[in-house]
């Protein structure tokens, strides 16, 4: 028996046997021999090193580091011990000490492959990407079949934005080691960045199949679904991860983002706070906490979280710095926001999100160097490769060239940006048209004459609705400047409550006054706290136009304000915006025109059936021409006394969180009227879909409809249930959560 | 509904085999087709304890699909798949046997790679056995197959108790005892990972050679003499397994329950080991003149192997001597609970693992009476044939 060290055994023999036992998975015997050696020779380096490796294998990282630190104090310490210490320190997040150890290792032995590999990933994590790259390139030169090193090289290249090269490395690693789950997971993350969500998801599934406890793979799968706004799917991946790792900070972070997208803000905040409390130094968690705080309106706290995130080691602070700029922008600190984005660009000249956000705040002029810089990021010698980055830059450049007045160039970029965005989801324009016709048919004039829900206090609710980019934000700001009016922003509440009743509009025939009353009551319960002490609360979710009839049935005294704007101007404005949340119909000119006409037919119907004292329409162009006249008309319609504050709407101190947030701060916006005419040539597919002749002396700008009854323009025929995605208006301005899945193989030998 | 409360109420019912009641409680809660994971898992188990394993399978597959990282769910699925004879995925999911709450600590952290099934001539492969003796007897046959497929130098590491029998088996180059320092090796494989690594198919069973174990001639001589005075049909028997086995309550019984086996013209030799072996020294009066306890004289598995070779038949609950008998090619009748261990498959009274073994299955949860009745009947028939 060899398990009991005999007195005759030399230290070398005992250590040799200890190593052999450990190789064979016989930890007890190995430990006993190490302890025996250490009793004879306290501080013996090899015994401490082996004890450290065993502690590491059993998950006791701190203990392992303690053993290795002591092992590395020996005067003749082998280079590989230092290299292993470096890797363990990296795992513990002690990057500075890790780098010192790993550098000592490769200085002692510059052929030590594991040492260069470990140094390479330490440098990668510390953001020293050029150094990391040269370390890891040396590793694969020394050992070309080292799959883990190729994977690590892929991670460094990815962080450098060299996505094509990163992909080659991951694929090479997988070629060497087909069952390499981490490389599969990293490939998933990369494919998602390259705008290939289906392939990305397949790779993540494969990674999970290879290693069902590879948490990064779940997070990457969830990120794919977050990226295409399938938040429920993202939640399923996260719940699968949390089922075995309930305190996984990364998982809670992603769940917080999905919940935020779903407007489940309280739950989102709970998850984000828990993630931060589990891992205070987790920059991604801090950043997401900031995003949730921002969404619930706690801006000071949000800024503090973004500041923390941007200072966290190992986390690319770019996203947090951009989010900080967005908060400043939402607060109306345009100048500060602009400075913030410029600072990001000084640090990260290739940050597409910084350029994208800055372009909204900047008026471009011919010869603007910013345009050249953005164009070189798309088409220069070292172009950006992330698909979302490229899309955002196309929109920014479209905006820039529109400012400058070069329609051809502007639309060159806009068409490309829209095409890229449109390629990321499926959308059935005809089904959406049928759906809107079905809605009109489901709410015929007859049902509005019958008994309605009796609901006390429903006059508190004011809905501002219409097409996105039609001026709903402007109208809301004018109303909210009145001391008796609170602005709730764009609420998905009514939509959510309607969906709880069943598929819409098939539920319409079953809506008793009781059901409608319950719906109205739940809506009021939700918005009342937002109103505070004010008499009115404005919900400016544009897509509530789908529910105008039902709003009247559920909340008989609620006021509904339909905002209209020249159809081409509206659609042009939609087309120039990259919405952060899905507006599925705005990325193709023909689909945009078709949607607009379907919307218009539905509004014709509402106009015909809704009572004039509850439904009013306002033309954006009329507001521009006669602010006071229109403002007085709206205030009166809401049943309030006139207040001159409404004319100073641009001074209102309230955070605005929609795509138009940089416009309503300007006192008036005449440049938005008739904006489309110089672009008529580029808008041909839209004009065709809208049925507008650009050469007609006066294209049929719709007149403000009289609130008097008139028959609906077209009779919609009831159709079988068509499930179409309800258009979701823009709600926020920046999308930053995208967990980076990185996983390295420690080279502890 | 409070899921924790429900689970606390239902778990003991499932352990008691009250699957019908549990199913009736849970089905309505899942009527919509969706529901919490816990409920689905309880339903799957309720079906399993009724023996409706085929119906449990799609539920378990769905659970694994939804929660791939919940590894005990995967192990549960492995048991179902193997029970249904679906070896491919079954063996793959069986790889999670060391990922359960009570097994993670016993997983052996071998620092060399696991053999991937490819030929590795010139390399050394360490095959090490795992927990139960029965498992070791059953899967020992694959050592020679692994040697052939890997073309490696094979070291077999095995527990002390079965090593002596293993030594006389072919198919390895060196044998080392559990706990001892094995010679140098390049790759390793747990014995029960061999089916996954080598893609074992049902159709390959029992495989060659069969039998693959043999008793020692001098031990056989000893036991032949010891049994000689007893006339008629010689039947070795045991009625209880290792009490610490997770499923022992379902597989084990009490000695007196086997009274119907005490028939004239038959001698029942107790080969029971462990806490229950005392029972055979003082058998119930009705059995007394038919029962002879060999238990105190059995020193090791070599004795058991020799006895099994010298008697006409082993009658046993699901325990390691059954596997020893099967590996020796000796007749054995096994009494199985309604939901047996995965290795016994379903709806058949033979087993592809051992041509000499016959199965007697419960048809109702916990009801041994009818099983023992059928064994008694078969014994009477066998006795008649022998005479």
**DSSP states of B81-125:** HHHTT-HHHHHHHHGGGGSSTTTGGG----SSPBP-SS--TT-EE
ipTM here: 0.86
Distance (Å) from the alpha carbon of A62 to chain B's nearest alpha carbon: 20
Q: Please indicate, yes or no, if residue B106 is contained in any of the structural domains.
A: no
Q: With contacts defined as CB-CB under 8 Å, which chain A residues touch B180?
A: 1-3
CA distance B60 to B40: 8
Instruction: Count helices and strands (H / E) in chain B.
Output: 16, 11
What's the whole-number mean pLDDT along residues A619-624?
A: 90
B157 and B88 in one domain? no
Q: Is A2 on the interface with B (CB under 8 A)?
A: yes
Omega prior to A280 cis, within 30 of 0: no
d(CA A634, CA A615): 11
Bond preceding residue B209 cis, omega within 30 of 0: yes
Listed residues A425, A441, A456: the one ending a domain:
A425
The C-alpha atoms of residue A746 and residue A84 are separated, in whole angstroms, by: 8
CATH of the domain at B278: 3.40.50.2000
Alpha-carbon Rg for chain A in angstroms: 31
- Last residue of a domain, which of A640, A665, A689? A689
Higher-confidence residue of A395 and A530: namely A395
Scan for tokens 């084990």, then name that residue: B252
Start-to-end C-alpha separation, chain A:
27
Confidence of residue A649 (pLDDT cuts 50, 70, 90): confident
State the pLDDT at residue A655. 52
Whole-angstrom Cα distance, residue B205 to residue B226?
35
Check whether A154 has a pLDDT greater than 50.
Answer: yes
Q: How many whole angstroms separate alpha carbon B287 and alpha carbon A367?
A: 108
Of A35 and B99, the one with more pLDDT? A35
Assess whether pLDDT exceeds 80 at residue A662: no
Integer-rounded Cα radius of gyration of chain B: 22
Q: Which residues of A touch B37 (CB under 8 A)?
A: 243
Examine the domain organization and report whether B257 and B372 are in the same domain. yes
pLDDT at B265 over 90: yes
Q: How many CB atoms lie within 10 A of CB A525?
A: 10
Q: Are residues A413 and A525 in the same domain?
A: no
SS3 A665: coil
- Say how many domains are in chain A: 2
| Percent of chain A residues past pLDDT 70, beyond the cut | 88
Average pLDDT over residues A108-123: 95
Q: For residues A619 and A626, give the distance between their C-alpha atoms in angstroms, rounded to a whole number.
A: 11
A671 and A592 assigned to the same domain? yes
CATH number for the domain that contains residue A554: 3.40.50.300
- For residues B155 and B280, membership in a common domain is answered with no
B214-240 core/surface letters (b: 16 or more CB in 10 A; e: else) = bbbeebbebbeebbeeeeebbbbbbbb
Q: Specify whether A363 is located in the same domain as A465.
A: no
pLDDT of residue A723: 30
B110 in contact with A at a CB cutoff of 8 Å? yes
Q: How confident is the model at residue A618 (pLDDT cuts 50, 70, 90)?
A: very high
Contacts of B68 in chain A (CB under 8 A): 208-209, 212, 240
Chain A contact for B3 (CB, 8 A cutoff)? no
What's the rounded mean pLDDT across residues A290-316? 86
Name every chain A residue with its beta carbon within 8 A of the beta carbon of B185: 24
Both A410 and A460 in one domain: the answer is no
Judge if B239 and B333 occupy the same domain.
yes
Q: What pLDDT does residue A730 have?
A: 26
Cβ–Cβ gap A24/B182 under 8 Å: yes
Sign of CA dihedral A448, A451, A453, A455: positive
For chain B, the domain total comes to: 3
Q: CA of A391 to nearest chain B CA: how many angstroms apart?
A: 33
Beta B350-351 vs B354-361: how paired, if at all? antiparallel
E strand spans, chain B: 124-128, 153-158, 174-177, 187-190, 233-238, 266-270, 291-293, 313-317, 332-336, 350-351, 354-361
A656 pLDDT above the threshold of 60? no
CA-CA distances (angstroms) from residue A180 to A151, A186, A209, B113, B275? Answer: 9, 10, 11, 14, 48
| pLDDT-derived band at A144, boundaries 50, 70, 90 | very high
B108 touches chain A (CB under 8 A): yes
pLDDT for A411 equals: 95
Place of tokens 């007394």: B288
What whole-number distance in Å separates Cα of residue A59 and Cα of residue A88?
A: 11
How confident is the model at residue A678, as a pLDDT? 83
> Is A52 within the bounds of a domain?
no
Phi-psi region of B46 (alpha: psi -120 to 50; beta: other; left: phi over 0): alpha
Same domain membership, residue A555 and residue A476: yes
- Could you say which of B48, B65, B99 is where a domain stops? B99
> How is chain A split among helix, strand and coil, in percent rounded to 5?
60, 5, 35
* Same domain? A436 vs A419: no
**How many angstroms away from the CA of B159 is the closest CA of chain A?**
14
Which of A2, A58, A236 has the CB atom closest to B180's CB atom? A2
HSE toward the beta carbon, residue B170, CA cutoff 13 A: 7
* CATH number, residue B68: 1.25.40.10
At residue A706, the pLDDT reads 40
- Asked whether residue A588 falls in the same domain as residue A474, the answer is yes
Give the model confidence (pLDDT) of B126-147 as tens digits.
999 998 899 999 999 999 999 9
Interface test with A, best of B69, B100, B193, B196 (most A CBs within 10 A): B69
Least CB–CB distance from A244: residue in B66, B70, B182:
B70
> Hey, is the C-beta of A232 within 8 angstroms of any chain B C-beta?
no
Through-space distance between the first and last CA atoms of chain B, rounded to whole angstroms: 64
A534 and A397 assigned to the same domain? no
Residue B80 counted as domain residue: yes
In a domain, A600, yes or no: yes
Confidence (pLDDT) at A599: 96
* Pair (B58, B152) in one structural domain: no
Q: Is residue A734 part of a domain?
A: no
Residue B296: inside a domain: yes
pLDDT on residue B31: 86
Cα→Cα distances A346→A321, A342, A656, B29, Å: 12, 6, 27, 59
> Which pLDDT value is given to residue A137?
95
- Is residue A445 over pLDDT 50? yes
CB A375 within 8 A of CB A345: no
Q: Which residues of B touch A3 (CB under 8 A)?
A: 179-181
Q: Which of B52, B82, B99 is the last residue before a domain boundary?
A: B99
Task: State residue A732's pLDDT score.
Answer: 26
How does residue A518 score in pLDDT terms, banded at 50, 70 and 90?
very high
Provide, as residue numbers in chain B, all residues whose Cβ is less than 8 Å from the Cβ of A245.
69
Compare all CA atoms of chain A with the CA of B128 and give the residue at the minimum distance.
A24
- Best residue of B65, B68, B126, B130 to probe chain A, by most A CBs closer than 10 Å: B68
Q: Is the pLDDT of residue A315 over 70?
A: no
DSSP string, A434-469: HHHHHHHHHS-THHHHS-----TTGGGEEEEEESTT
B59 and B160 assigned to the same domain: no
Q: Which residues of B touch A201 (CB under 8 A)?
A: none
Q: Where in the sequence is the domain holding B76, given as residue range(s)?
A: 3-99
Q: Check: CB of residue A300 under 8 Å from CB of residue A332.
A: no
Strands (E), A9-108: none
Cβ separation of A24 and B126 shorter than 8 Å?
A: yes
User: For residues A685 and A662, what is the distance between their CA atoms, to the nearest angstrom?
Assistant: 28
- If asked whether residues A599 and A656 sit together in one domain, one would say yes
Chain A residues inside the 8 Å CB shell of B109 = 25, 27, 57-58
Residue A8 to chain B, least CA–CA distance (Å): 18
Do both A408 and A444 map to the same domain? no
Q: Please tell me the distance in Å from A66's CA to the nearest CA on chain B.
A: 21
- Best mutation target among A1, A3, A19, A24 (most B Cβ atoms within 10 Å) is A24
Query: Mean pLDDT for chain B?
Result: 94
What residue of B is the nearest CA neighbor of A212? B69
Residues 118-137 of chain B with CB under 8 A from chain A are: 126
B99 to chain A: which residues are within 8 Å by CB? 213
Average pLDDT over residues B145-153: 97
Between A5 and A69, the higher pLDDT residue: A69
| A544 and A452 within one domain | yes
pLDDT(A699) > 80: no
pLDDT of A4 reads: 52
Residue among A618, A502, A592 nearest A550 (CA): A502
Can you give the pLDDT at residue B242? 83
Instruction: Please tell me the least confidently modeled range out of A51-55, A278-282, B220-224.
Output: A278-282
Asked whether residue A676 is assigned to any structural domain, the reply reads: yes
Q: What is the pLDDT of residues A167-203, one digit of tens each?
A: 999 999 999 999 999 999 999 999 999 989 999 999 9
- Which residue in B has a C-alpha nearest to residue A54's C-alpha? B109
Residue B212 included in any domain: no
Q: Choose among B69, B179, B185: nearest Cβ to A213.
A: B69
pLDDT at A448: 86
Does A236 contact B at CB distance below 8 Å? yes
Q: Which of residues 169-188 of B touch A (CB under 8 A)?
A: 179-182, 184-185, 188
The model's confidence at residue B260, banded by pLDDT at 50, 70 and 90, is: very high
Q: Is residue A731 part of a domain?
A: no
For residues B248 and B144, state if they share a domain: no
**Predicted confidence band at A709 (pLDDT cuts at 50, 70, 90)?**
very low
**Chain A residues touching B182 at Cβ < 8 A:** 24
Please spell the DSSP secondary structure of A520-535, one letter per residue: HHHHHHHHHHHHTT-S
User: With contact defined as beta carbons under 8 Å apart, do A261 and A231 qualify?
Assistant: yes
Angle made by CA atoms A460, A461, A462, in degrees to the nearest 5: 120
Which of B150, B207, B145, B192 minimizes the C-alpha distance to B170? B145
Q: What would the pLDDT profile of B358-371 be if each residue is shown by its tens digit?
A: 999 999 999 999 99
Assess whether B160 and B229 both reside in one domain: no
Which residues of chain B have a CB within 8 Å of the CB of A58? 109
Calpha distance A568→A620 (Å, rounded): 13
Identify the band that residue A741 occupies on the pLDDT scale cut at 50, 70 and 90.
Answer: very low
Q: Given the DSSP bridges, would you call strands B313-317 and B350-351 parallel, antiparallel or unpaired?
A: unpaired
Instruction: Please indicate, yes or no, if residue A517 is contained in any of the structural domains.
Output: yes
Residues of chain A found within 8 Å of residue B111, distances taken between Cβ atoms: 22-25, 57
Identify whether B226 is part of a domain.
yes
Nearest to A243 among B69, B126, B182 (CB): B69
- B181 and A20 within 8 Å at the Cβ level: the answer is yes
User: Which tops the pLDDT comparison, B63 or A295?
Assistant: B63
Does the beta-carbon distance from B69 to A218 stay under 8 Å?
A: yes
Are B148 and B290 part of one and the same domain?
no
A chain contacts of residue B70, beta-carbon cutoff 8 Å: 240, 243-244
Domain extent, residue A365, equals: 349-425
Residue scoring higher pLDDT (A546 or B244): A546
Query: Which range (A46-60, A238-252, A669-683, B236-250) has the least confidence?
Result: A669-683
Q: Please tell me which of the candidates A1, A25, A243 has its beta carbon nearest to residue B110.
A: A25
Residues of B in contact with A20 (CB under 8 A): 181, 184
Residue A21 placed within a domain:
no
Among B355, B354, B353, B373, smallest CA distance to B363 is for B373
A236 contacts in chain B (CB < 8 Å): 66
In chain B, the residue whose alpha carbon lies closest to the alpha carbon of A244 is B70
State the average pLDDT over residues A451-469.
87
The CA distances from residue B230 to B289, B312, B342, B384, in Å, are: 11, 12, 37, 17
Interface of A with B in 32-91 (CB under 8 A): 57-58
Domain boundary among A375, A408, A425: A425
- Asked if the model's pLDDT at residue A717 lies above 50, the reply is no
Mean pLDDT score of chain A: 86
* B378 and B294, same domain (yes or no): yes
Whether residues B314 and B234 share a domain: the answer is yes
Among A186-195, A650-659, B30-39, where is mean pLDDT lowest?
A650-659
* Shortest distance, CA A81 to any CA of chain B (angstroms): 17
Q: For residue B291, count other CB atoms closer than 10 A to its CB.
A: 23
On whether both A508 and A387 belong to a single domain, the answer is no
Has residue A740 got a pLDDT over 80? Answer: no
Looking at the complex, does the CB of residue A164 fall below 8 Å from at least one CB of chain B?
no
Interface touch A243/B70, C-beta < 8 Å: yes
Could you tell me the pLDDT band of residue B246, with boundaries at 50, 70 and 90?
confident
Question: Rounded to whole angstroms, what are the CA distances from A683 to A593, A675, A690?
Answer: 10, 12, 11
Any domain includes B110:
no
Taking CB atoms and an 8 Å limit, are B110 and A1 in contact across chains?
A: no
Place of tokens 């306002």: A618
Closest by Cβ to A25, choosing from B66, B99, B109: B109
d(CA B41, CA A307): 45
A570 located within any domain: yes
């Amino acid at each position: 028996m060899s398990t009991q060290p005999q007195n005759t055994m030399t230290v070398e023999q005992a250590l040799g046997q200890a190593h052999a036992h450990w190789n064979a998975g016989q930890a007890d015997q190995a430990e006993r021999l190490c302890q025996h050696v250490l009793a004879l020779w306290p501080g013996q380096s090899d015994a401490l090193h082996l004890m450290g490796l065993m502690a590491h294998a059993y998950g006791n990282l701190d203990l392992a580091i303690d053993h290795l630190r002591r092992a590395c104090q020996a005067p003749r310490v082998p280079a590989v011990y230092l290299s292993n210490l470096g890797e363990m320190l990296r795992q513990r997040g002690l990057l500075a000490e890790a780098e010192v150890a790993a550098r000592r290792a490769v200085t002692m032995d510059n052929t030590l492959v594991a040492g260069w590999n470990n140094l390479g990933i330490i440098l990668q994590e510390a953001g020293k990407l050029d150094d990391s790259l040269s370390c890891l390139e040396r590793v694969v030169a020394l050992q070309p079949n080292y799959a883990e090193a190729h994977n690590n090289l892929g991670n460094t290249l990815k962080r450098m934005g060299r996505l094509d090269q990163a992909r080659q490395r991951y694929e090479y690693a997988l070629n060497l080691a087909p069952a390499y789950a981490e490389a599969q997971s990293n490939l998933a993350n990369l494919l998602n960045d390259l705008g290939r969500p289906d392939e990305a998801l397949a790779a993540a599934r494969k990674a999970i199949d290879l290693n069902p406890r590879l948490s990064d793979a779940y997070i990457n799968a969830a990120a794919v679904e977050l990226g295409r706004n399938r938040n429920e799917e993202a939640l399923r991946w996260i719940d699968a991860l949390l089922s075995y790792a309930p305190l996984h900070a990364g998982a809670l972070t992603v769940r917080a983002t999905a919940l935020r997208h779903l407007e489940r803000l309280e739950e989102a905040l709970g998850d984000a706070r828990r993630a931060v409390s589990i891992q205070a130094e987790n920059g991604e968690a801090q950043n997401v906490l900031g995003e949730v705080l921002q969404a619930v309106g706690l801006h000071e706290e949000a800024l503090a979280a973004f500041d923390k995130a941007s200072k966290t080691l190992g986390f690319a602070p770019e996203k947090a710095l951009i989010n900080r700029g967005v908060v400043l922008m939402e607060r109306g600190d345009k100048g500060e926001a602009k400075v913030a984005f410029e600072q990001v660009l000084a640090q990260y000249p290739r940050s597409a999100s910084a350029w994208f956000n800055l372009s909204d705040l900047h008026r471009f002029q011919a010869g603007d160097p910013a345009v050249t810089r953005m164009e070189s990021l798309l088409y220069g010698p070292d172009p950006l490769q992330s698909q979302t980055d490229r899309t955002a830059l196309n929109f920014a450049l479209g905006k820039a060239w529109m400012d400058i007045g070069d329609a051809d160039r502007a639309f060159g970029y806009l068409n490309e940006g829209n095409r890229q965005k449109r390629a990321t989801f499926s959308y059935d324009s005809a089904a959406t048209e049928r759906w809107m016709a079905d809605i009109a048919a489901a709410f015929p004039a007859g049902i509005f004459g019958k008994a309605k829900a009796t609901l006390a206090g429903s006059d508190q609710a004011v809905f501002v609705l219409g097409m996105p980019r039609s001026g709903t934000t402007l109208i809301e700001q004018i109303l909210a400047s009145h001391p008796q009016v609170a602005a709730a922003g764009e609420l998905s509440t009514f939509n959510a409550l309607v969906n709880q009743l069943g598929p819409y509009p098939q539920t319409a025939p079953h809506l008793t006054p009781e059901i409608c009353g319950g719906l109205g009551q739940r809506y009021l319960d939700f918005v009342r706290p937002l109103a505070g002490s004010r008499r009115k609360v404005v919900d400016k979710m544009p897509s509530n136009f789908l529910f105008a009839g039902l709003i009247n049935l559920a909340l008989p005294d609620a006021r509904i304000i339909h905002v209209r704007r020249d159809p081409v101007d509206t659609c042009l404005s939609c087309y120039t915006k990259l919405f952060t949340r899905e507006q599925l119909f705005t990325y193709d000119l023909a689909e945009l025109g078709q949607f607009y006409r379907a919307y218009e037919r539905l509004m014709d119907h509402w106009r015909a059936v809704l009572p004039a004292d509850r439904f009013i329409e306002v033309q954006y162009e009329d507001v521009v021409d006669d602010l006071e006249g229109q403002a007085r008309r709206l205030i009166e319609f809401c049943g309030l006394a006139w207040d001159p504050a409404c004319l100073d709407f641009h001074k209102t101190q309230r955070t605005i969180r929609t795509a138009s947030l940089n416009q309503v701060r300007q006192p008036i916006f005449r440049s938005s009227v008739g904006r489309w005419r110089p672009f008529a040539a580029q808008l041909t597919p839209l004009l065709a879909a809208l049925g507008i002749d650009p050469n007609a002396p006066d294209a049929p700008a719709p007149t403000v409809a009289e609130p008097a009854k008139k028959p609906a323009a077209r009779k919609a025929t009831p159709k079988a249930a068509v499930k179409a995605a309800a258009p979701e208006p823009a709600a926020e301005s920046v999308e930053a959560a995208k967990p980076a899945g990185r996983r390295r193989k420690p080279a502890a030998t | 509904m409070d899921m924790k409360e429900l689970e606390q109420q239902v778990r003991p019912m499932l352990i008691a085999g009250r699957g019908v009641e549990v199913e009736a409680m849970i089905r309505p809660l899942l009527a919509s087709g969706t529901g919490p994971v816990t409920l689905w898992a309880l339903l799957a188990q309720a079906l399993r304890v009724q023996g409706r394993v085929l119906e449990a399978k799609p539920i378990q597959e769905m659970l694994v699909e939804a929660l791939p990282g919940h590894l005990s769910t995967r192990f549960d699925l492995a048991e179902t798949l193997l029970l249904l004879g679906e070896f491919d995925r079954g063996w793959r999911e069986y790889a999670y046997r060391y990922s359960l709450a009570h097994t993670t600590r016993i997983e052996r952290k071998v620092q060399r790679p696991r053999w991937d099934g490819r030929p590795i001539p010139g390399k050394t492969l360490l095959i090490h056995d795992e927990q139960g003796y029965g498992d070791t007897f059953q899967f020992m046959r694959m050592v020679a197959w692994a040697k052939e497929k890997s073309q490696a130098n094979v070291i077999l590491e095995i527990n002390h108790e079965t090593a002596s029998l293993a030594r006389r088996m072919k198919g390895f180059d060196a044998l080392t005892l559990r706990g001892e320092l094995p010679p140098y090796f390049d790759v390793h494989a747990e014995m029960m990972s061999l089916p996954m690594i080598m893609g074992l198919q049902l159709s390959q069973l029992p495989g060659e050679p069969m039998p693959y174990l043999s008793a020692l001639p001098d031990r056989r001589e000893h036991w032949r003499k010891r049994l000689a005075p007893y006339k008629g049909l010689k039947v070795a028997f045991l009625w209880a397994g290792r009490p610490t086995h997770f499923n022992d309550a379902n597989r084990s019984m009490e000695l007196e329950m086997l009274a119907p086996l005490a028939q004239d013209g038959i001698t029942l030799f107790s080969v029971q080991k462990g806490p229950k072996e005392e029972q055979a020294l003082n058998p119930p009066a009705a059995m007394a003149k038919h029962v002879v306890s060999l238990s105190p004289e059995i020193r090791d598995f070599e004795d058991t192997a020799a006895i099994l070779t010298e008697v006409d038949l082993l009658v046993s609950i699901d325990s390691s001597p059954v596997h020893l008998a099967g590996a020796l090619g000796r007749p054995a009748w096994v009494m199985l609970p309604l939901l047996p261990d995965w290795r016994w498959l379903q709806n058949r009274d033979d087993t592809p693992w051992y041509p000499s073994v016959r199965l007697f299955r419960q048809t109702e949860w916990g009801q041994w009476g009818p099983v023992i009745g059928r064994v008694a009947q078969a014994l009477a028939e066998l006795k008649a044939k022998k005479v």
